Structure 1
Amino acid sequence: MPGGTEHTAGGKAPEVTVWNALPKLNDFTEFHKRPCVRDALLTGIGGGAAFGGVRAVFGATVWTACSWATGTFCFGSAVMYQYCLYRRKAEKEGMMRAVEILNKKDIDRKAREQRKEKIREERRAAKDVEQDTQLAALSQAQTMKTDGGGGKPWWKVW
């Protein structure tokens, strides 16, 4: 497509350089605000501190205890991050399923209302036909009564 690499608002496409490829300072200062990162970091910090502290208490050297703490931090953070992503995916699928169920119920409810409205219209039409026949029979009886008796009854003087 012609002009497919340019912005439609009239701007130019950004240049591809090494400096544009490097992460910005904002990427590091806003890192904790990404989904699942905070929980993963807190779990890793807690697990690393606990495991490193236990190793230090039981006689490991400082270097060994710190290495175990760092390794536990990395492993715990990675596991917790993946578990959080799994939970988010499962929650998203559950919400999609719930929306589908709600949409299906809404469609069923609308179909039921349409059926009820159709039944009401049919009853209304049948009642109108019945009333029309009753009115025709009544008017026919009135005309027979007035035609056969010469107009109005003898006892009505007004």
Structure 2
Amino acid sequence: MPTREKAIAFRDDIITPTLQAIGLHSDAAVELLLGTALQESKLVYRTQIGGGPARGLFQMEMATHDDIFDNYLKYRSTLRNAVLQLKSAPDADAEEELTNNDAYAAAMARVLYKRAPAALPSAGKLSDMAAYWKQYYNTLFGAGTVSQYMNSWNSVMGAA
């Protein structure tokens, strides 16, 4: 598990400025993305354990990444351009960016949540954040549980 200091630095240096850059910043969104990264990768794993397709600290699959571009960002040029500005180079490989460019990966995770039909839970509501992550990010086929998300958060950030 990462230290609290590492998690706070990730929040302050990556998540917050990224969400500000793409115009999707809120305290709730920052908290949800930090919780997502803590649960999905422990802020350590950039490739899925066991050789699965998930990549980056948010453990997004390329199929999900591509679906976001093909079926959501394609119709939202301002947001699409803001996300693309985060790539290390205009022609950079998308999988490599998702794996190693934390700002790009954070933006993609935030856009995935933006697509969800329900509003983000309120900041500070850990059980609501965990349930939202499970429903819209980890989904029915994901192995994660609400209690695992909460444990991942509490073990690093402390009990809410």
Q: Which bracket does the TM-score occupy, shorter chain normalised?
A: under 0.3
TM-score (norm 1): 0.20
Higher alpha-carbon Rg: 1
| Larger proportion of helix | 1
